[in-house]
Amino acid sequence: MALDAWVNESLYPAWGQRFRVKREIARAKSAYQDIAIFESESHGRVLMLDGVVQITEADEFVYQEMLVHVPLLAHGAAEHVLIIGAGDGGVLRRVLEHRGVRRAVMVEIDAEVIRLAREFLPGIGGAAWDDARAEVIVGDGIAYVAEAADAAFDVVIVDSTDPVGVGEVLFTEAFYAHAARILSPRGVVVNQCGVPFLQAGELVETSRRRRKSFPYVTAYLAAVPTYVGGFMTLGWAAKDHSLVGLPVKELTGRAAAAGILGRTRYWTPEIQAAAFHLPPYIAELMPH
């Protein structure tokens, strides 16, 4: 690919971003989606699925840290974690940074995403792929959740594409009903709900569906530069109201016990405490 080549993201028809490309790293068409990895001038290596940016080496830490550390530290004693999607390995890596995690099951439907990420984005998953606590399954996350035992997990993390195409089934009422069943009494499920400035309907509809199975539904915020349009929301559905609103001192102690305090680049106890305070334009989208 020529040095003056640009890649345009195709997520929105009327607003977008583009990356100047140093070189194309890999391109494949799996049974589920078009996969591309390229080296950008500004963000390091970039993974795109069906023309939409999934992760970049430069800012992946923001999304991964908030998707993982917030629910695990809110729970406080999570030992069994289920990850749906997240084929790049970053979520698995962050989950396994927690000393108390005994088992992390990752179910990714597209084996080609895992293969390419392991080969061409090795820094994102790191050594997590070979951790004895990790169980990586190439398969259907919906089927896995439907068949899992009651109360088998403390936290369920859904890292999927937007609710279209291959990711659509991970946002259904049936999925959340099964997620509630397989979670322990203090269990929580989190998933990305898009950028509400541009994708308000995604947050509204996902929150409504989660509300059918969970007594406490909200969202929290992360500012990920490559997810354009302002704050990204991470959806939160829990059985226990007390998991949100923990004081900074408590979160600091839990992070120290988990072994992550001082090792993060975005997450802090203060960031977690503040992340659930939604600006009015986002708060008004939540079910009441």
Closest CA to 10 of 200, 232, 165: 165
Does 240 qualify as catalytic in the annotation? no
Active-site entry in 4, 150, 159, 162: 159
Give one DSSP letter per residue of the chain, joined into a string.
Answer: --TT-EEE--S-SS---EEEEEEEEEEEE-SS-EEEEEEESSSSEEEEETTEEEEETTTHHHHHHHHHHHHHHHHS---EEEEEE-TTSHHHHHHHTSTT--EEEEEES-HHHHHHHHHH-HHHHGGGGG-TTEEEEES-HHHHHHHSPTT-EEEEEEE---SSGGGGGGGSHHHHHHHHHHEEEEEEEEEE---HHHHHHHHHHHHHHHHTT-SEEEEEEE--TTS-SSPEEEEEEES-GGGSS--HHHHHHHHHHHT-TT--SS--HHHHHHHT---HHHHTTS--
Catalytic residues, by residue number, are 159
